[in-house]
Amino acid sequence: NDHEKKTELMKDKKVLITAGPTQEIIDPVRFFTNHSSGKMGYALAQAAKDLGADVTLISGPVSLEKIAGVRTIDVQSADEMYQAVMKEFHEQDLVIKSAAVADYRPKQTSDQKMKKKEGDLVIELERTKDILATLGEEKSNQYLVGFAAESENPLAYGQEKLKRKQLDAIVINEIGFQKGFQSDHNEVVFYSKDGEEHRIPYATKKEIAEELMQLVNRKMTEE
């Protein structure tokens, strides 16, 4: 019946999803992070699991409940996420990178709490590794989906990221009022390397995740 068909759709598929922010340590009480709540990535993991996939979720620090039946690996920093993703990557059929990975981390981390001093403080930052771009370079048969969070020119920047990182598809997310970061809602454009553009209008992240998984699954089957 229909219900069975729907749950079987991603049976035997191994899916890796990253979610949430990363935290880049300054000292024992401080870190740099961003507004990612992890909700979009967790909704994707749930949707993939509901379609019968074997799901691994690599998660930055979030305050969301673990998903029953999804293997979850907790990480803190961009470097820890990089290590975890590279370890799991090779055996996957599909990788979706919805995590908001820090682009920079403090060049030095202090073992002791930093004490305040007179005058301004300058913290030197260095670039983190781009996990998604590394996957684009090293991928064999995995279908690779990135996210792009943009506050301006979403489509142009998103398409540029798809090319630069050698992705199969990108989910473009315009940061704005009551959507994207923190919100339970979102509005996205799915754009695949063959030029197909599919807008998913304002909806809950659960609904968006379910539609994205259907789209990705169709694209993977076409290849």
By annotation, the residues acting in catalysis are 34
State the Rg of the chain over Cα. 18
- Is 11 annotated as belonging to a binding site? no
* Core vs surface per residue 204-221: b (16+ CB within 10 A) or e: ebbbbbbbbbebbbebbe
Helix (DSSP H) and strand (DSSP E) numbers for the chain: 6, 12
**Which residues between 110 and 129 bind ligand CTP (CB under 6 A)?**
128
Q: Is 103 in the site for ligand CTP (CB under 6 A)?
A: yes
Q: Is 149 in the site for ligand CTP (CB under 6 A)?
A: yes
- Is 14 annotated as belonging to a binding site? no
Identity of the residue, 34 or 120, whose beta carbon is nearer to ligand CTP in the bound complex: 34
* From 51, 94, 95, 148, residue interacting with ligand CTP (rule: CB under 6 A): 148
**Which residues between 91 and 110 bind Ca ion (CB under 5 A)?**
103
- Is 181 annotated as belonging to a binding site? no
* From 146, 186, 190, 219, residue interacting with ligand CTP (rule: CB under 6 A): 146
The count of residues interacting with ligand CTP (CB under 6 A) is: 14
Query: What are the backbone angles phi and psi of residue 127, rounded to the nearest 5°?
Result: -70, 145
DSSP 27-55: ETTEEE--S--SHHHHHHHHHHHHTT-EE
Residue type, 173: N
Rounded least distance, CB 101 to ligand CTP, Å? 4
Q: Is 45 in the site for ligand CTP (CB under 6 A)?
A: no
Q: How far apart are CA 155 and CA 18, in angstroms?
A: 22
State the residues that interact with Ca ion by CB under 5 A: 103
